[in-house]
Structure 1
């Protein structure tokens, strides 16, 4: 759970240590440090700062969350389990800023990747239904609600789905 700067510093320190080991003819230790450097580089692209961002997101610090997400060099290279969270947090930040088009885009991407569990996926569908409700697009509202109903597991989610469905039927 490092920021990008922390990972870069760790990469430099590991590379220097590996070079030092080569200088002192500690080839096995240098090889081990080389592998550690490769692991750090791999984790930089596959894991990035998403875990750090989720920590800030859970604390409600949207600015720190966005700063951590901005450190991700290429979201498309993230591991599938990280990409879903990345898109989910981006969507919630956009929703918080009332940028509804961007929020819908990121929620749609988040719906395609695995999230923590069914509950998270249900709330992605609920958010998408809410955004479709803003546009008064009854077909999309009902489609999102159907998917949410298939996965619903909490009474709170059922209540929200029923409330959105009533509003959709009154359109």
Structure 2
């Protein structure tokens, strides 16, 4: 995993090389250089480990996701949004592998670092509400459910929110 600034410097150098190749009529090599520089720029904004983890989460292979995320040595060196999604993915994985204490810490870290999408923030808040409900902390669970309702604009989590509210009534 290359540093975030090294990727940009390499992308600039490869783009300059591609311009040179186009000028000297090496069009095929110029196109390859443009593709490589585009990938470097893409991976500057989207971490390849996070992308790979998203793919395996969709396939519900959580042990593989955990192995991929464990390969990241210094998540604090990522761009803030990448770091937030790293902790979000880690929290989802830990919640599915029955590690609620670690998942709670990961979701809190993801929210404090700054998840971009409101639906992801709502999902993290809903998971936190579930963890607090399991600890019998009804007050914090209710706060997180209310925040999840506000963040869920597209009504994708209404069934899960109702389920957690129903569980809260039993306590």
TM class by shorter-chain length? 0.5 to 0.7
Instruction: Tell me the distance in 1 between the aligned counterparts of 2:118 and 2:71.
Output: 28
- State yes or no: 1:142 paired with 2:131: no
1:156 Cα deviation after fit: 4.3
Instruction: Tell me the distance in 2 between the aligned counterparts of 1:152 and 1:96.
Output: 22
1:163 Cα deviation after fit: 2.8
Match of 1:95 in 2: 95
Match of 2:24 in 1: none
Point out the more displaced range, 136-145 or 70-79. 70-79
Instruction: Tell me the distance in 1 between the aligned counterparts of 2:47 and 2:99.
Output: 26
1:135 Cα deviation after fit: 0.6
Q: TM-score, normalised by structure 1?
A: 0.67
Q: Can you give the 5+ residue segments of structure 2 that lack an aligned partner in the other structure?
A: 11-19, 22-35
Match of 1:119 in 2: 119
Residues 62, 97 of structure 2: 8 Å contact kept = no
Q: TM-score, normalised by structure 2?
A: 0.67
**RMSD across aligned positions (CA):** 3.1
1:129 Cα deviation after fit: 0.6
Map 1:19-168 → 2, pairs under 5 A? 47=47, 49-112=49-112, 113-115=114-116, 117-168=117-168
